[in-house]
Structure 1
């Protein structure tokens, strides 16, 4: 992420996301940011599916990683890095949009523990939980 600013907001968070070539490739967008939380969304077009027609697990992992990091950035400031995370797949991801909704569980001065629910959204807006992730994010130094 970028150097800390006192007013790091949704628009600035989207600019940071847009600066990531892989995020642009996936068409990711930040739809909520602040209050120690963030929501990232990706439209589940056919190119992001695996052979059985479900969203690829790598797409879910990408969304969890970035949502966790942005949520931590809302708590620690924008200069943060993922230290590690785990993901548990609950059910196959089927829908039109993948929504990664992350919130800080605990934040200190230099690290945050963050939880992320990964949901698919169908054409009528109904959400279905497909995975849960938890990670540790560190404030970047130097």
Structure 2
């Protein structure tokens, strides 16, 4: 694990919450001059702590109003079966997240976003259930989002 000081943690927190923050403003908010601040950000990027810079979009304003969590069960638990499923899911734009899980009857949990129930049905029947080895699909639909945060908690880091 990489050791971070208080300034590094503050830089990371601010960058997570304010992606378009300028180096000048970031430096002011963490108490550094711009050059050392820029060097720290570069070091954090080089260390792999900053994985990417992204823009978050408003799904509803784009017409993507139905979000579902889908539990998938496979017929066999072989490396080949998992690799085949993993490769297929990478090509589905509707899938926001795909995790291999434990603790339930399911093997995978997918987070999916689509326009509506018709689009979901097309995705489910036209893509997901056609994958070799898929034997079970259980869907749960999001009624209301209570909390959504993309920033990792950094307070506990020493």
TM above 0.5, yes or no, is no
Higher alpha-carbon Rg: 2
Larger strand fraction of residues: 1
TM-score by length of 1: 0.31
Structure with bigger RCO (C-alpha 8 Å, 6+ apart) = 2
Larger helix fraction of residues: 2
TM-score by length of 2: 0.28
